[in-house]
């Protein structure tokens, strides 16, 4: 097991900025507004030759029992309980506050070793706060500037004693290439449809915040997980509202994080609210996933609340057929994330869709199929002459992409191209995945070989 480091502190002391500095890129949302971070976020960090897992947490603050703030503190407590060492951040420019003293008292009584870090210590403005930090009784503070990268050598020296050896630290990250590379699975949807509840149910723990409040999730929270021995990187995302309604800066940042999660996902589970059906915003999100070339699975949540299930299912399927023809056959799973009913069908649907997204069809099979298709339904006439489809090959996977060579590709009607795509989907078992078809002019490129 590698070293696990949890970053804690009151709101707005620079925890997420330090987290991003340690992981090497902007992974957590950063803003001047206090309380931006709500869920704990994990990443693979590096300081010199030291490799470790780092966890960003919500700001420590007083909160009423049962409130959103209290649930955020529970997430921080879980992160602290699993840490080998905690980095307790204070703001050197502001100095030690009563809240810092309050939580320092709790940390001294805790089990986890604590490294006191005085952030924003660059220049003379932080000198006073740096001296005040000694009164917290947590040892000598490490002076850093997370924003400017100052003091990282001193932080390395403070963390090194907690690692048995650099080579024993975590070396395999969720994004590592190879056969063990995890499946990238993003959970998306409108606000308050049950995305975070579904993630927690899949993981079997309260990994991300849930509650009746809409818009709780802000960051795209990734968790490495295993399903039947298969590695999965499960990503919970912020809800996507209609663009005109997104006005606040933080929500814009959250939406950008969700869109980034879609771009880097392999399979996307779009969560729908069964009580509301398939709404226009759901279709907009599905089209966005298709345009990005990601594989799609639909999860109809809160199915236990539906009275006439047959009628509800017909409405959803009918809307899909008329409004989302480019993803014919998309897998649809009805479930209840709260109770777990129907959940067993979700991951098999995800795996099957992922396999279709990665499917490669041999060139001989494709061209035998192309001959049969033209015999059954020939291409239209162009200026009195039959348009010839000469040759076809699969150019890529993820998503399946095909090159079609024709005598006059620019004259091939869009209706006939859709006809070919739909037959490809049906005959080669490619349901619910985007299919790209590139039209090219020329002879059979393999003729004469």
- Say whether both 132 and 218 belong to one domain: no
Q: Does position 350 have pLDDT exceeding 90, yes or no? A: yes
User: Last residue of a domain, which of 141, 168, 195?
Assistant: 168
In a domain, 447, yes or no: no
> Which domain covers residue 273, as residue numbers?
183-357
- Give the C-alpha separation, 9 to 117, whole Å: 10
Share of the chain above pLDDT 90, in %: 41
Considering only CA atoms, which of 377, 369, 379 is closest in space to residue 427?
369
- Asked if 299 and 333 touch (Cβ cutoff 8 Å), the reply is yes
Structure confidence at residue 249 as a pLDDT band (50, 70, 90): low
- Say whether both 311 and 350 belong to one domain: yes
pLDDT at 193: 92
Q: Three-state SS for 125?
A: helix
In a domain, 176, yes or no: no
- Token reading at 110: 């805790």
- Say whether both 372 and 396 belong to one domain: yes
- Give the C-alpha separation, 433 to 357, whole Å: 6
- Asked if 254 and 238 touch (Cβ cutoff 8 Å), the reply is yes
Q: What is the pTM of this model?
A: 0.70
Q: In CATH, what number is assigned to the domain containing residue 29?
A: 3.40.50.300
In a domain, 100, yes or no: yes
- Say whether both 207 and 335 belong to one domain: yes
Beta strands 221-227 and 230-236, pairing class: antiparallel
- Say whether both 407 and 299 belong to one domain: no
Q: Please name the residues in contact with 247: beta carbons below 8 A apart, sequence gap of 6 or more.
A: none
H/E stretch holding 322 reads helix 309-323
Q: Does position 229 have pLDDT exceeding 90, yes or no? A: yes
Average pLDDT over residues 124-150: 86
Average pLDDT over residues 136-159: 89
Average pLDDT over residues 132-143: 89
When divided into structural domains, the chain yields a total of: 3
Span 265-315, pLDDT tens digits: 999 999 999 999 899 999 999 999 999 999 999 999 999 999 999 999 999
Considering only CA atoms, which of 34, 124, 142, 28 is closest in space to residue 85?
142
pLDDT at 177: 40
Structure confidence at residue 108 as a pLDDT band (50, 70, 90): confident
- Say whether both 367 and 345 belong to one domain: no
- Say whether both 233 and 342 belong to one domain: yes
- Say whether both 11 and 49 belong to one domain: yes
Q: Does position 120 have pLDDT exceeding 80, yes or no? A: yes
- Asked if 296 and 268 touch (Cβ cutoff 8 Å), the reply is yes
pLDDT at 164: 57
User: Last residue of a domain, which of 307, 334, 357?
Assistant: 357
Span 4-46, pLDDT tens digits: 999 988 888 888 889 988 988 766 555 555 445 556 778 888 8
Strand order across the beta sheet in which 41-47 lies:
41-47, 50-56, 3-9, 85-91, 114-119, 142-143
Span 353-368, pLDDT tens digits: 999 999 999 999 999 9
In a domain, 448, yes or no: no
- Say whether both 251 and 133 belong to one domain: no
- Token reading at 55: 């966890």
In a domain, 449, yes or no: no
Q: Three-state SS for 313?
A: helix
Q: Does position 342 have pLDDT exceeding 70, yes or no? A: yes
- Say whether both 51 and 91 belong to one domain: yes
Average pLDDT of the chain, as a whole number? 83
Percentage helix, strand, coil for the chain under 3-state DSSP, each rounded to 5: 40, 20, 40
- Say whether both 157 and 192 belong to one domain: no
- DSSP assignment of 216-262 equals ---S-EEEEEEETTEEEEEEE------GGG--SHHHHHHHHHHHHHH
Considering only CA atoms, which of 121, 138, 137 is closest in space to residue 129?
121
Specify burial of residue 327 (Cβ count, 10 A radius: 0-12, 13-18, 19+). buried
Q: Does position 66 have pLDDT exceeding 50, yes or no? A: yes
- B/e letters for 84-118, b = 16+ CB within 10 Å, e = fewer, are bbbbbbbbbbbbbeebbeebbeebeeeebebbbbb
- Asked if 10 and 99 touch (Cβ cutoff 8 Å), the reply is yes
Least confident of 89-103, 167-181, 306-320, 427-441: 167-181
- Say whether both 120 and 258 belong to one domain: no
In a domain, 177, yes or no: no
């Amino acid at each position: 097991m590698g070293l696990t480091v949890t970053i804690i502190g009151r709101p707005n002391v620079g925890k997420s900025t330090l987290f991003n500095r340690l992981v090497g890129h902007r992974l957590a949302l950063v803003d001047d507004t206090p309380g931006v971070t709500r869920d704990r976020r994990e990443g693979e960090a590096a300081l010199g030759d030291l490799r470790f897992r780092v966890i960003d947490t919500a700001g420590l603050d007083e909160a009423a029992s049962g409130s959103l703030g209290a649930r955020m503190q529970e997430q921080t407590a879980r992160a602290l309980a699993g840490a080998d060492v905690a980095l307790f951040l204070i703001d050197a420019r502001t100095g030690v506050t009563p809240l810092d003293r309050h939580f320092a008292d709790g940390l001294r009584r805790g089990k986890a070793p604590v490294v006191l870090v005085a952030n924003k210590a660059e220049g003379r403005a932080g000198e006073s706060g740096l001296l005040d930090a000694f009164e917290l009784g947590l040892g000598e503070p490490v002076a850093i500037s997370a924003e400017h990268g100052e003091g990282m050598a001193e932080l390395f020296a403070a963390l090194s004693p907690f690692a048995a050896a650099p080579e024993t630290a975590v070396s395999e990250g969720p994004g590592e290439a190879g056969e063990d590379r995890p499946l990238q699975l993003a959970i998306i949807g409108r606000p308050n449809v049950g995305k975070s509840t579904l993630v927690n149910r899949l993981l079997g723990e309260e990994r991300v915040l849930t509650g009746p409040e809409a818009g709780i999730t802000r960051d795209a929270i990734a968790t490495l997980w295993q399903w039947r021995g298969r590695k999965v990187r499960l990503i919970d995302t912020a809800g996507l509202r209609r663009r005109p309604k997104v006005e606040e800066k933080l929500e814009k940042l959250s939406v950008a994080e969700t869109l980034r999660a879609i771009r880097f996902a392999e399979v996307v589970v779009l969560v729908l609210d069964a009580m509301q059906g398939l709404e226009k915003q759901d279709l907009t999100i599905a089209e966005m996933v298709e345009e990005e070339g990601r594989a799609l699975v639909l999860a109809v949540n809160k199915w236990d609340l539906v009275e006439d299930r047959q009628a509800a299912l017909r409405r959803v399927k009918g809307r899909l057929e008329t409004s989302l023809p480019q993803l014919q056959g998309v897998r649809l799973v009805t479930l209840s994330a709260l109770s777990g009913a129907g959940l067993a069908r979700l991951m098999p649907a995800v795996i099957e869709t992922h396999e279709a997204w990665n499917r490669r069809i041999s060139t001989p099979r494709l061209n035998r199929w192309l001959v049969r298709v033209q015999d059954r339904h020939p291409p239209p006439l162009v200026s009195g002459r039959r348009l010839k489809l000469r040759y076809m090959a699969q150019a890529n996977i993820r998503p399946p992409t095909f090159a079609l060579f024709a005598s006059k590709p620019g004259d091939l009607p869009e209706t006939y191209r859709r006809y070919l795509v739909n037959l490809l989907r049906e005959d080669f078992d490619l349901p619910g995945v985007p299919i790209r078809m590139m039209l090219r002019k020329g002879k059979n490129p393999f003729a004469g070989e």
